[in-house]
Amino acid sequence: MSLAAKSLLLVAALALAACNNPDRYGAGGAGGTGGAGGAGGGINTTGLGDPNNPTSIAYFNQRVGDRVLFAVDQSTLSPEARQILTAQAQWLNQNPGYAAIIEGHADEQGTREYNLALGARRAAAVQNFLISQGVSASRMRTISYGKERPIEVCSSEACYQKNRRAVTVLSAGAGV
């Protein structure tokens, strides 16, 4: 990758990281890795680490970029998304001690049911791309939140475009 492309990627990643709120599901909300009292496993706690440490979750979230965005109703990966996911795959391949849950989300336009299915489609598109880049399927799991968990709350395209996303959420451990 050229230096220019790398810098572009970094800028994009930092811009995305700015809207990354680690407590995005709020107290008491069902966590992406296990709801309270759920049977699907306890809560996985992993330190974010130092963003300057290339093996840390913080580095992945902020420097690599933990999310990709989608067009309305689409689950097709844009060239920008492919670039971020290629970097995600490289990172995951270099750091086999992490597992990932890929969350698919939709904006609020659309019914609850359709958006759940659409979010799942987006998460699967990301998972399939990462698999194609050599990341083991056993390290990944997908979940859809539909329109239940927007990160931006305005009702215009400026917010909608950030909500139509798939986020790769890491946790320590070799599998999910």
d(CA 28, CA 81): 31
d(CA 38, CA 56): 28
Question: 9 or 100, CB closer to other proteins?
Answer: 100
Nearest by Cα to 164 from 79, 77, 73, 70? 70
Question: 85 or 118, CB closer to other proteins?
Answer: 118
Question: 63 or 67, CB closer to other proteins?
Answer: 67
Question: 68 or 123, CB closer to other proteins?
Answer: 123
Q: How far is the CB of 118 from other proteins (least distance, A)?
A: 7
| Range list of H helices, 31-156 | 57-59, 79-94, 112-132
Question: 92 or 125, CB closer to other proteins?
Answer: 125
Q: How far is the CB of 36 from other proteins (least distance, A)?
A: 4
Q: How far is the CB of 10 from other proteins (least distance, A)?
A: 27
Nearest by Cα to 65 from 4, 123, 6, 17? 17
| Structure tokens that stand for 40 in this block | 């699907």
- C-alpha of 16 from chain center: 11
Nearest by Cα to 170 from 78, 79, 96, 105? 96
Residues near other proteins (CB under 8 A) are: 21, 23-41, 73, 75, 108-114, 116-118, 120-125, 127-128, 141-145, 148-155
Q: How far is the CB of 147 from other proteins (least distance, A)?
A: 10
Q: How far is the CB of 124 from other proteins (least distance, A)?
A: 2
